[in-house]
């Protein structure tokens, strides 16, 4: 983002009476809402949540902030060292600024959501499109009402495509994000149980996911999992060009003869059977994410051989089925960003077929936001755990106790370990003591369990 303070003020209708008007011509180089990460020349966004961002303005100034948004309800303590753009609501102004900047740069927008696979699919789409176009994509987990505006404002002026991941945990959230971004293409990877605590049924989750089409341009495209009846039925109500992907012959794009390897999954696509496709990750379920990305590439006429080349070495966001090497030489499969029953079973099924000289060890943490069905859904993972293939299991979290009870008759006591959520350090210590160079360890949990801290200590 490169705009003058005056342009920003005009875009969000901010009050600028409190500072020297000569400052309006000064340039801003970006935005930041974390005073600890501010860089010289940036606009500070003081958001109000658990903490009030206005309280950290001094830190932002020391860090190099050139200007700040400022809530009208905080004018009794206006900063004097840098220009303060006074607005009714800094978050709403931040979102309005992103909409202004999006219209100014005018890239084509690909919006991606889904209960599983949206981050991987986003990464794959960005890789394919970057073969021909200048692409900006969502980084890390910036996929909500704060993350999407931030992603938009990170775009360089030459951006031709914005690939935006959109998350949700309540009705109406995707409606807002979609209408803000006004996508040219909306993608739904699949419907699962994620956030079922807030929705109650998969039907209602599907309704909420379909909100991603609410801002879809009239001449846009809707790409979705054609093997999901809940989406097929709802897609009929969307009056745009539609494209389906999946495993059935009725889909526009479907995979054939998929072969799951430890570090790579190979497959073919019905439209170009002569081309070998491969993705640098395990799990046949990830082929569907690739099919979604291929569907988008096809819309923008990327040659299939180029798509195959880009998918072979695409840049995957960390902690999504990411293979690492531990301090002892053990192989670590880190999939700790998020978890739900569908995703956990899929990765466990893939993991039990890996080639290993030692033992396969699984570390599973609570899957959050599953509501009243949570204990039963945790217990259902028993069907994906067999001591013949995964001989050692570590469980952590209150709801994992339900799975622990199911596994007690199946696993020897010395190979089944259970910890409360606040015993992460003890789990780490015990796991480090157990691991040997020939072992493999899978870690899978919702982010709230912070298994990434375990991964960090294992790889030291």
DSSP string, 358-378: S-EEEEEE---S-GGGHHHHH
Tell me the mean pLDDT in the region 345-363: 95
Flag whether pLDDT at 317 surpasses 90: no
Per-residue pLDDT band for 141 (boundaries 50, 70, 90) equals confident
**21 labelled as ligand-binding?**
no
Q: What class does CATH assign to 3-88?
A: alpha beta
Kindly report, residue by residue over 283-311, the tens digit of the pLDDT: 999 999 999 999 999 999 999 999 999 99
**246 labelled as ligand-binding?**
no
Look-up: residue for tokens 């995703």? 343
pLDDT of the residue at 199: 85
Per-residue pLDDT band for 320 (boundaries 50, 70, 90) equals confident
Tell me the mean pLDDT in the region 16-40: 96
pLDDT of the residue at 15: 97
* Distance, CA of 11 to CA of 97 (rounded, Å): 6
Q: Name the residue among 168, 162, 159 with its Cα closest to residue 188.
A: 168
pLDDT of the residue at 326: 97
Kindly report, residue by residue over 235-275, the tens digit of the pLDDT: 999 999 999 999 999 999 999 999 999 999 999 999 999 99
pLDDT of the residue at 111: 98
* Distance, CA of 289 to CA of 189 (rounded, Å): 7
Flag whether pLDDT at 197 surpasses 80: no
Q: Between helices 90-105 and 173-181, what is the axis angle to 10°? A: 40
The dihedrals phi and psi of 355, each to the nearest 5 degrees, come to -90, 125
The dihedrals phi and psi of 419, each to the nearest 5 degrees, come to -135, 145
Query: Which letter, b or e, does each residue of 387-400 get, where b requires 16 or more Cβ atoms within 10 Å of its Cβ?
Result: eebbbbbbbbbebb
pLDDT of the residue at 140: 87
Flag whether pLDDT at 195 surpasses 80: no
On the question of a common fold for 3-88 and 322-458, the answer reads: no
Tell me the mean pLDDT in the region 72-88: 97
pLDDT of the residue at 194: 75
pLDDT of the residue at 167: 95
pLDDT of the residue at 254: 98
**328 labelled as ligand-binding?**
no
Per-residue pLDDT band for 61 (boundaries 50, 70, 90) equals very high
* Distance, CA of 264 to CA of 10 (rounded, Å): 50
Tell me the mean pLDDT in the region 33-37: 97
pLDDT of the residue at 191: 94
Tell me the mean pLDDT in the region 98-102: 98
Flag whether pLDDT at 70 surpasses 80: yes
Q: Check: CB of residue 64 under 8 Å from CB of residue 20.
A: no
* Distance, CA of 267 to CA of 288 (rounded, Å): 11
The full set of domain ranges for the chain reads 3-88, 106-312, 322-458
* Distance, CA of 240 to CA of 219 (rounded, Å): 6
pLDDT of the residue at 425: 97
**217 labelled as ligand-binding?**
no
pLDDT of the residue at 9: 98
**115 labelled as ligand-binding?**
yes
**200 labelled as ligand-binding?**
no
Look-up: residue for tokens 């012959």? 249
pLDDT of the residue at 177: 98
pLDDT of the residue at 417: 98
pLDDT of the residue at 92: 98
Q: What class does CATH assign to 322-458?
A: alpha beta
pLDDT of the residue at 193: 82
CATH topology of domain 106-312: 3.40.1190
3-state secondary structure (DSSP) of residue 358: coil
Flag whether pLDDT at 196 surpasses 90: no
Per-residue pLDDT band for 60 (boundaries 50, 70, 90) equals very high
pLDDT of the residue at 423: 98
**118 labelled as ligand-binding?**
yes
Tell me the mean pLDDT in the region 7-27: 97
Kindly report, residue by residue over 206-227, the tens digit of the pLDDT: 999 999 999 999 999 999 999 9
% of the chain with per-residue pLDDT over 90: 93
**Half-sphere exposure of residue 97, counting CA atoms within 13 Å on the CB side?**
37
Tell me the mean pLDDT in the region 431-460: 96
């Amino acid at each position: 983002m490169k705009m003058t303070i005056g342009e920003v003020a005009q875009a969000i209708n901010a009050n600028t009476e409190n500072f020297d008007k000569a400052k309006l011509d000064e340039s801003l180089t970006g935005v930041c809402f974390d005073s600890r990460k501010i860089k010289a020349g940036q606009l500070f966004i003081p958001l109000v949540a658990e903490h009030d961002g206005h309280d950290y303005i001094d830190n932002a100034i020391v860090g190099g902030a050139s200007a700040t948004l400022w809530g009208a309800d905080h004018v009794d303590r206006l900063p004097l060292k840098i220009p303060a753009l006074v607005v009714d609501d800094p978050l709403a102004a931040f979102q309005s600024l992103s909409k202004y900047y999006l219209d100014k740069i005018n890239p084509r927008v690909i919006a991606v959501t889904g209960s599983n696979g949206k981050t991987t699919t986003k990464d794959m789409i960005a890789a394919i499109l970057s073969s021909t176009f200048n692409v900006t994509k969502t980084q890390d987990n910036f996929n909500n009402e704060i993350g999407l505006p931030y992603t938009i404002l990170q775009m360089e002026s030459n951006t031709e495509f914005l690939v935006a991941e959109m998350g949700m945990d309540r009705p109406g959230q995707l409606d807002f994000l979609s209408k803000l971004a006004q996508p040219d293409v909306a993608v739904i990877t699949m419907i699962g149980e994620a956030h079922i605590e807030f929705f109650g049924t998969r039907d209602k989750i599907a309704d909420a996911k379909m909100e991603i089409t609410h801002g879809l341009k009239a001449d846009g495209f809707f790409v979705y999992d054609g093997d999901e009846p809940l989406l097929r039925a709802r897609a009929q109500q969307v009056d745009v060009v539609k494209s389906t992907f999946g495993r059935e012959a009725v889909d526009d794009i479907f995979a054939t003869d998929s072969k799951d390897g430890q570090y790579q999954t190979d497959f073919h696509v019905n439209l170009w059977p002569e081309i070998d496709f491969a993705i640098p990750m395990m799990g046949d379920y990830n082929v569907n994410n690739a099919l979604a990305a291929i569907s988008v590439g096809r819309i923008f006429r990327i040659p299939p051989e180029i798509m195959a080349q880009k998918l072979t070495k695409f840049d995957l966001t960390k902690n999504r089925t990411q293979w690492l090497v531990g301090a002892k030489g053990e192989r670590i499969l880190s999939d700790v960003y998020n978890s739900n029953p569908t995703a956990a079973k899929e990765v466990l099924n893939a993991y039990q077929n890996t080639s290993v000289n030692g033992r396969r060890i699984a570390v599973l943490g609570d899957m959050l936001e599953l509501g009243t069905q949570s204990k039963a859904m945790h217990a259902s993972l028993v069907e994906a755990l067999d001591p013949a293939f995964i001989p050692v299991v570590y469980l952590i979290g209150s709801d994992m106790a339900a799975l622990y009870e199911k596994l007690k008759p199946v696993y020897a006591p010395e190979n089944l370990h259970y910890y409360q959520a606040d015993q992460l350090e003890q789990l780490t210590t015990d796991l480090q003591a157990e691991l040997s160079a020939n072992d493999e360890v899978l870690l899978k949990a919702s982010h709230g369990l912070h298994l990434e801290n375990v991964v960090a200590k294992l790889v030291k």
